[in-house]
Amino acid sequence: MLNKITYKFRLYPNKEQRKILEQTLQTCRILYNNLLAERRDTYKKTGCSPSCYEQTMSLVEKKTDNPYMREVHSQVLQDVTRRLQRTFENFFDRTKKKKEGKWKGKIGYPRFKGRNRYDSFTYPQYGNGCKITGRKLSLSKIGSIRIVQHRPIEGTIKTCIIRRDIDRWYACFLVKTPATVVEMKHPKSRVGVDLGLESLITLSNGEKIEPTKYLRKLQKKLRREQRRLSRKKKGSNNREKQRIKLAKVHRKVRLQRTDFNHKLSHMLVNRFDLIAFERLSIKNMLQNHHFAKSIADASWYQLQTFTSYKAAEAGKSVKFVDPYRTTTDCSRCGFHVPKTLSERIHKCPNCGFTLDRDWNSAINILSRVGWGTAESTPVEIEPLPLPQRKEASSVAESGSP
């Protein structure tokens, strides 16, 4: 069995290489739209659309009519057809689920890609058109681009995705490694983690980490840039410049949040052998318009994801438990104590136990995992320091630490 890991490195192309990269994206985007239109029109006329194989075979003929396609590596163009095929497979899967009553949202027929809606292209075979040579990434039809490889790649590289992030470029390598991680049967240290908004996380030993609120801290700037964008004439150069300014503010929030979650998850994995979370339905929780912005800014799902894969690599364990009544049950006697959101202290009328609401919940989360019993009093352990908050660290820019 193999594990799939993605390594993300920053690229530094020169002006000429930037033009070629942008042109490659444009060529792939136009090809994607043409193939989508071909499927749609053919289906309307004949009731049957061309397959992925047929469209891939037609690329040779399309190259003779389009000189821009000749400037793009053949396998990059072939991957565009496979990308469109996956889009239709997802569409048919949603259609099937809709008929079975398992899909509540819109089905979403595949859409044409706008100018700023196509940001990546793929070399499906590493070594065929794409290869790292020293401090350069050699790309067929593009040239050798300087790459900052901040960590060694362990495993076999399968594919390479070149991705644009506003004005930055990244290379993402999909690597397969043997799955040799063995889960610990008897963890020495364990902790329950309660996710919240007043406190980002509360541990079962009583420690708390305050929420970062990166989005709210830049809310004023975001509103100002958004107002400036709305005043610009559509299609003008000034509007495009302002769109990039606004996108950079959003990117700053994203990188800050990602950097913080990487550091926090790393600390949790370093300290504990078993980490227990609630299995929250975050997608449904975002439907509450009173808390949606705060929940999105807290980025619970990202923290859980980072902690899970870091624990797997370290040979440790992350468990997800049923969140039902973790907040309302007493962690000492199990008595059900209903609470409103405004009640921040747990007071049990049955046994008289009084504790912080989130702390009580974290203890219940740990007790549901099945390894021993949770402690209801603080454990003498080294306090968890806050991760250093950087606006856009090199870790966040170039990938996971």
Q: Where in the sequence numbering do the catalytic residues fall?
A: 194, 278, 358
Q: How many residues does the chain have?
A: 401
- Chain-centre distance for alpha carbon 42: 36
Distance separating alpha carbons of residues 243 and 238, to the nearest angstrom: 9
Q: Which residue has the tokens 């919940």?
A: 361
Query: Do the beta carbons of residue 141 and residue 71 sit within 8 Å?
Result: yes
* 381 closest CA partner among 199, 189, 186, 185: 189
Rg (CA), the chain: 25
Please give the structure tokens belonging to residue 369. Answer: 């995992």
Cα 400 to Cα 262: distance, rounded to the nearest angstrom = 7
Largest CA distance in the chain: 82
143 touches 12 (CB < 8 A)? no
